[in-house]
Structure 1
Amino acid sequence: MKSVEIVSVHLHDYLYFKDVDIYFDKGLNVITGETGAGKSLMLDIFGILLGVTPGRVDNYSVEVVIDIPDDILEYEIFKGENVFSVKRNNSRTTFKINGRVYPKNVVSSILSNYITLHRQNSHMKFLEQNFLISILDEISNNKNLLNEYRKYYELYKELKDLLKSESLNKLYEKLEYLESVIKEIEEVNPTVEEEELLNEQYNVATKLQETVEKYNEILNESEVISEKLWNIKKIINDKYEESVNAALDIVETLKLDIQKELSEIEGYDIKEIEEKIWQYNQLKRKYGPTLEDVLLNYENYMKELNEVKKKIELLEDSKKKIEDCLKNMKKFSEKISLNRKKAAEKISEAFLKHCNDLNLNIEIQFNFSKIDYNYNGFDKVELLGRTVKNQPLKPLKVIASGGELSRLMLALELSVVSDGILIFDEVDAGISGETGNKLAEKLKEVSERYQVIVVTHLPQVAVRADKHFVVLKDQKSGLIKELDEEERSIEIKRMVGSDDVLKFID
Structure 2
Amino acid sequence: MISELAITDLGVIDSAVLELHPGLTVVTGETGAGKTMVVTGLGLLLGGRADRAAVRVGAERARVEGRFTALPPQLAERVREHGGELEQDPTGEGAGGEEGGEELLVTRQLSATGRTRCWLGGAQVTANQCADVAAELIAIHGQSEQVRLQRPDRQRELLDAAAGPGLAEVLEAYRRCYARRRALQQELTELRDQALARAREIDLLTFGLDEVSAVDPRPGEDVELAAEASRLQAVDELRYSAGRALVALAGEEDALDASGALALTQLARKALAELAATDPQAAGLAERATEAEALLADLAVDVSAHLDRLEADPARLEQVMQRTAALTALTRKYGRDVDEVLAWAEASARRLGELQGGDARIAQLEDELTRAAAELAELGGRLSALRAGAAATLAERCVAELAALAMPHARLRFELTPLEEPGPHGLESVQLLFSANPGSDPAPLGRVASGGELSRVRLALEVVLASGLDGGAPAGPGRSTLVFDEVDAGVGGRVAVEIGRRLAVLAEHTQVVVVTHLAQVAAFADRHFVVAKSDDGQVTTSGVHRVEDAERAGELARMMAGLDSSDTALAHARELLALAGQGG
TM-score (normalised: structure 1): 0.71
Q: Deviations over 1:6-27 (max 9, x none)?
A: 1111223323334432211112
1:127 Cα shift? 2.3
**Partner of residue 186, structure 1:** none
Tell me, in whole angstroms, the C-alpha distance in 2 between the residues paired with 1:447 and 1:39.
20
**465, 468, 477: which one aligns with 2:541:** 477
Corresponding position: 1:498 with 2:563: yes
Corresponding position: 1:403 with 2:452: yes
Query: For 1:72, what is the secondary structure of its paired residue?
Result: helix
**132, 146, 150: which one aligns with 2:175:** 150
Counterparts of residues 322-341 of structure 1 (less than 5 Å): 322-341=369-388
Tell me, in whole angstroms, the C-alpha distance in 2 between the residues paired with 1:460 and 1:254.
125
**484, 496, 500: which one aligns with 1:436:** 496
**Partner of residue 414, structure 1:** 463
AA aligned to 1:9 is: L
Query: For 1:378, what is the secondary structure of its paired residue?
Result: strand
**Partner of residue 269, structure 1:** none
1:310 Cα shift? 11
**Partner of residue 320, structure 2:** none
Tell me, in whole angstroms, the C-alpha distance in 2 between the residues paired with 1:49 and 1:314.
51
**483, 495, 511: which one aligns with 1:423:** 483
**Partner of residue 411, structure 2:** 363
AA aligned to 1:380 is: S
Alpha carbons of 1:110 and 1:312: their partners in 2 closer, same or farther (altered >3 Å)? farther
Corresponding position: 1:67 with 2:69: yes
- Please say if residues 39 and 471 of structure 1, whose CA atoms lie closer than 8 Å, have aligned partners that are also in contact: yes
Q: Deviations over 1:141-186 (max 9, x none)?
A: 32222233233322321232223222486669989999x99xxxxx
- Please say if residues 171 and 312 of structure 1, whose CA atoms lie closer than 8 Å, have aligned partners that are also in contact: no
AA aligned to 1:68 is: A
**Between Structure 1 and Structure 2, whose CA radius of gyration is higher?**
2
AA aligned to 1:467 is: R
**Partner of residue 33, structure 2:** 37
Greater displacement, 23-32 / 231-240: 231-240
Tell me, in whole angstroms, the C-alpha distance in 2 between the residues paired with 1:60 and 1:305.
66
1:391 Cα shift? 1.4
> Structure 1: where are the runs of 5+ without partners?
182-219, 259-281, 288-300
Corresponding position: 1:318 with 2:365: yes
**Partner of residue 126, structure 1:** 149
**231, 234, 248: which one aligns with 2:267:** 231
Greater displacement, 247-256 / 436-445: 247-256
TM-score (normalised: structure 2): 0.63
What percentage of aligned pairs have identical amino acids?
24
Alpha carbons of 1:438 and 1:150: their partners in 2 closer, same or farther (altered >3 Å)? closer
Query: For 2:108, what is the secondary structure of its paired residue?
Result: strand
**Partner of residue 438, structure 2:** 389
AA aligned to 1:250 is: R
AA aligned to 2:43 is: G
Q: Deviations over 1:190-212 (max 9, x none)?
A: xxxxxxxxxxxxxxxxxxxxxxx
**50, 61, 70: which one aligns with 2:46:** 50
**Partner of residue 139, structure 1:** 162
**391, 404, 428: which one aligns with 1:344:** 391
- Please say if residues 50 and 114 of structure 2, whose CA atoms lie closer than 8 Å, have aligned partners that are also in contact: no
Tell me, in whole angstroms, the C-alpha distance in 2 between the residues paired with 1:41 and 1:155.
46
- Please say if residues 222 and 251 of structure 1, whose CA atoms lie closer than 8 Å, have aligned partners that are also in contact: no
Alpha carbons of 1:130 and 1:403: their partners in 2 closer, same or farther (altered >3 Å)? closer
- Please say if residues 159 and 315 of structure 1, whose CA atoms lie closer than 8 Å, have aligned partners that are also in contact: no
- Please say if residues 45 and 64 of structure 2, whose CA atoms lie closer than 8 Å, have aligned partners that are also in contact: no
Tell me, in whole angstroms, the C-alpha distance in 2 between the residues paired with 1:478 and 1:342.
50
Alpha carbons of 1:339 and 1:229: their partners in 2 closer, same or farther (altered >3 Å)? closer
Alpha carbons of 1:94 and 1:389: their partners in 2 closer, same or farther (altered >3 Å)? same
Question: Number of aligned pairs?
Answer: 429
1:255 Cα shift? 8.9
Alpha carbons of 1:248 and 1:433: their partners in 2 closer, same or farther (altered >3 Å)? same
RMSD: 4.4
Tell me, in whole angstroms, the C-alpha distance in 2 between the residues paired with 1:133 and 1:305.
49
Alpha carbons of 1:246 and 1:504: their partners in 2 closer, same or farther (altered >3 Å)? closer
1:111 Cα shift? 3.7
Query: For 1:317, what is the secondary structure of its paired residue?
Result: helix
Corresponding position: 1:468 with 2:528: yes
> Structure 2: where are the runs of 5+ without partners?
54-60, 81-85, 87-100, 210-246, 251-259, 297-330, 337-347, 467-473, 572-584
1:477 Cα shift? 3.3
